[in-house]
Structures are given as structure tokens and as C-alpha cells.
Amino acid sequence: MATMINQKTSVLGPLIAQNKDQILREWIVEMNDSARRGDLMKEGELRSQCTRFLDLLAQGTAGGGTNLQSGAYDPMREMLAEISTSRAQQGFSAKETATFVFSIKRTLFTVIRDEFEKDPKTMALEIWNATELLDALGLYTTEVYLKSREERIRRQQEEMLELSTPVVKLWDGILALPLIGTLDSARTQIVMESLLESIVQTNSKVAIIDITGVPTVDTVVAQHLLKTVTAARLMGADCIISGVRPQIAQTIVHLGINLLDVTTKATLSDAFGLALQRSGFALAKPQKKEKQDQ
Amino acid sequence: MEKIPILRMGEFLLVTIQVDMHDRLALALQDDLTTRISETGARGVLIDISSLEIVDSFIGRMLGNIAAMSRVLDAQTVVVGMRPAVAITLVELGMSLTGVKTALNVDAGMELLRSAVDGEREFYGSRF
């Protein structure tokens, strides 16, 4: 049975090659109705993609039947992956990307119907084969599309992680770590490491952790903050936590978290003042020079 | 057997740990150091662990113990130069070494010791 199907499917390849121009023409008309996005893609580009798709489809069916996993489909899969990825970036939806493949069905079925008009059995078999193959290709396209989207989301997450943990030097021996966004374990680990590394690098005695941008503090976040403060103390640096909002202060007390050992200040500027004082600095306005003329 | 040298600097003792600590070495150090403190009447101990890359709970506890013992023998202890990775490990192990003074480097540690000892002296000097 299997050999029969494979033998029969090899008909698809030559059939597509023979009727390539007709299929191409009708396919593009079909797509204009359903899936083409004139705003995102030029007609010439679409046409060249369609031509390549048909060539590779003919090549694939000739060598690998309807089995998408066979080696004959390697170039086909590569091309679809490329198209999916580029379309995901161009802003096509998943449906539009998959429709690129599915829209060929009507045209292809018409060609098969005309070819096997006198042999209904073969016609049914070929149409089934073509459906199977095109469905597999369409699903593959969607899969790659999703993968490329996921890849993009993952990369953005990483970038956000890097962007959101800058350690800044405020003064000689004073560091600040403005935290923005929700703290979770992974992020706190990075925050902790980058703060401790910076303490060693800049030889700082005071580090200010500003949590103005942290929307909520729960027990886990508080635990992480305390760990960071303790680790910094072990290395010989003092930590000051600033920017505790009234809401968060209430939460901390209600949760029964002990922040007694940690110096807290309302604002970053208060904390900076304290840090300067602890480091033995004092700020003063410069005296106005008395005018010497007159 | 390896030995961790204990150097005397005026009224302070300086311990620099430059090899990987194993348990027996840690116990020997504890022994040596307490003996030296009582022999010399040192007022402060400075332990430099900037070369220490690996700690476990035992070493962490030993550092705490040494500080507590020195305290009993009337000497302040400052641990200096702890690496970030070591600090994170100790915190994750739940050892915050409360009661141990810390400083970023030997310089800062010495200053801290001096001010602590001077402060103590002033305090007692004014009362006695």
C-alpha cells in the first residue's frame, strides 16, 4: 500500500512542474483575495516567493512523496522557515502566514481535477495526498512563525533584564541601584551579583538601593532585599534602602518582615545625604564672590 | 602541615588566608589565634579572606566563632576582602555573621579597628 501511494504521489511533482504558470497565476489571484497584505509586501517579492515555493514543492514531491521529514524537503523547509521568520518580523499575523501555503489548495485541486477527470479514484487519492502535504507544510510554517516569535520575546526579556539593573556611582565610594519593575528570584540574583561586583570594583563603602520603581513588595522580594543587604555587609559595605512608599511600608509591617537592621530612608536624596555624612563628606553652597570693583 | 601565618602589627594581629581552607586548617587557626591573642594581649584581629574562593557552612561558622572567641579575649575582629561570590554563598547558607565587623579591604579594615579600639579606650578612659 505504502509503495503504491509513493508511486502515485510522484505524479504530483511533474503535474506541478507542467502547470506551473497556470498555478502561479491563479494562486496569486487567490491570495490577493485572501491573504495578501499590500501594505506589508510588494507584489514582485510575493511572486518570486511563490515561484520558488512551486519549484521546491515539485522537487520535494518527486523525491520524498508526501513525507515532509524526508531529505528531499530540506530546501523546502528551509525556505518556509525563512519566509515565516521574515513575515513574523514584518508584522504578518500567524493566520496570514499560514494562509500563504493553504491558499494554493484551490488552484492545485483544480489542476488535479482537470488532469484526472476520467479517473475518479486517482483524483481522490491525489487530492488527499496534496491535502496531507499542504496541511503539513502549513502547520510547519505556523510552528516556525511561533518559534521566531518566542525567540523574540525571550530576547526582549533578556534585554529588559540587562537594562533594568544598572548600578550607578553617585560619589566617590557611594553607589546607587535604582530598581524598576517587579523583582523575582532570577532578577534579584542578577541585581545582587552586579551590585556586589560594583562594590568591589569601585571600592564603595555605601550602597543605596532605591525601590521607588518597585510596584509591590511581598515576602519573597523583602527576603531578597535583606539577602542583598546582608551580602553587602559581609563584604564590608553599608546598604541603605530608599524610596519606600507608604503603601509598601504598610505591607512590610503587615507581613511581619523585620527591616529593623536595615537603614531605610524615604527618598533617594535623603539616603544620599546620609551616605555622604557616613563617608565624611559635607555639601555646601559656594560663597558668592564679593565684587572687587566699584 | 600547612599553617596560616599570624602576623603582629602593633596591638593588632593580621591573618591572611591565602590557601584553600579545609576543616583541620580552620581548627588549627582557631587554636593558634586564640593562643596568640592571649599571649600578645592584642586589641584587634584582622582576617583577610580576599584569596578565599570557596566557603562552606563550616568555614562560615568558624569565622563567626573566631570573632566570638576574640571578643571574649577582649579583641575586636574585622573580616576584610570577602568576594561577592563568597558573600552570596554565606547568605544563601543562612549565615549572616552577625557580630562580625567587615570591611572592603585591609586598609579600610585597619581604620575600622583603630577607630573601634580608640573609641573603646575613650569610653573607658572617661569613666575610669
CA dist., res. A200 & res. A165, Å (int): 17
Supply A45's cell numbers.
517579492
Q: Say yes or no: A71 contacts chain B, CB-CB below 8 A.
A: no
Q: Say yes or no: A177 contacts chain B, CB-CB below 8 A.
A: no
Answer yes or no: do A10 and A101 share one domain.
yes
Q: What is the pLDDT of residue A292?
A: 59
pLDDT tens digit sequence for A69-121: 777 788 888 888 888 888 888 888 888 888 888 888 888 888 888 888 888 88
Query: Considering only alpha carbons, which residue of chain B is nearest residue A232?
Result: B87
Q: What is the pLDDT of residue A202?
A: 92
Answer yes or no: do A148 and A183 share one domain.
no
Domain ranges of chain B: 6-127
Q: How many domains does chain A have?
A: 2
Answer yes or no: do A187 and A272 share one domain.
yes
Answer yes or no: do A83 and A134 share one domain.
yes
CATH of the domain at A93: 1.10.490.10
In a domain, A137, yes or no: yes
In a domain, A284, yes or no: no
CATH of the domain at A240: 3.30.750.24
pLDDT tens, per residue, chain B with 128 residues: 678 889 998 889 999 988 888 888 888 999 999 999 999 989 999 999 999 888 888 888 888 898 889 888 888 899 999 999 999 999 988 888 887 889 999 999 999 999 988 887 777 765 44
Answer yes or no: do A69 and A183 share one domain.
no
Q: Say yes or no: B80 contacts chain A, CB-CB below 8 A.
A: yes
Domain boundary residue, one of A137, A159, A181: A159
Answer yes or no: do A76 and A196 share one domain.
no
B49, B88, B112, B115, best to mutate vs chain A, most A CBs in 10 Å? B88
Contact B88 A199 (CB under 8 A): no
Q: Containing domain of residue A253, as a range?
A: 168-279
Q: What is the pLDDT of residue A48?
A: 85
Answer yes or no: do A48 and A154 share one domain.
yes
Answer yes or no: do A233 and A151 share one domain.
no
The per-residue DSSP string of chain A comes to: -HHHHHHHHTTHHHHHHHTHHHHHHHHHHHHHHHT--TTTS-HHHHHHHHHHHHHHHHHHHHHHTT-TTSGGGHHHHHHHHHHHHHHHHHT--HHHHHHHHHTHHHHHHHHHHHHTTT-HHHHHHHHHHHHHHHHHHHHHHHHHHHHHHHHHHHHHHHHHHHHT---EEEETTEEEEEEES---HHHHHHHHHHHHHHHHHHT-SEEEEEEEE-----HHHHHHHHHHHHHHHHHT-EEEEE---HHHHHHHHHHT---TTSEEESSHHHHHHHHHHHHT----PPPPPPP---
Answer yes or no: do A116 and A134 share one domain.
yes
Smallest CA–CA distance, residue A59 to chain B, in Å, is: 57
Answer yes or no: do A122 and A208 share one domain.
no
- Segment B34-42 long-range contacts (CB within 8 Å, at least 24 positions apart): B34/B69, B34/B70, B34/B73, B36/B6, B36/B8, B37/B13, B37/B70, B37/B73, B37/B75, B38/B73, B40/B8, B40/B13, B41/B11, B42/B8, B42/B11, B42/B12, B42/B13, B42/B75
Domain boundary residue, one of A159, A192, A220: A159
Contact A196 B103 (CB under 8 A): no
Answer yes or no: do A148 and A108 share one domain.
yes
Contact A231 B103 (CB under 8 A): no
Contact A230 B96 (CB under 8 A): yes
Contact A234 B91 (CB under 8 A): yes
Q: Say yes or no: B102 contacts chain A, CB-CB below 8 A.
A: yes
Q: What is the pLDDT of residue A37?
A: 64
In a domain, A241, yes or no: yes
Answer yes or no: do A204 and A118 share one domain.
no
Contact A231 B108 (CB under 8 A): no
pLDDT tens, per residue, chain A with 294 residues: 444 444 445 677 788 888 888 888 888 887 777 655 666 777 788 888 888 888 888 888 877 777 777 777 888 888 888 888 888 888 888 888 888 888 888 888 888 888 888 888 888 888 888 888 888 888 888 888 888 889 889 998 888 777 767 889 999 999 999 988 877 777 888 888 889 999 999 999 999 999 888 888 888 888 888 888 999 999 999 999 999 888 888 888 888 877 777 888 888 999 999 999 988 888 888 887 666 555
Q: Does domain B6-127 have CATH number 1.10.1740.110?
A: no
Domain boundary residue, one of A159, A194, A212: A159
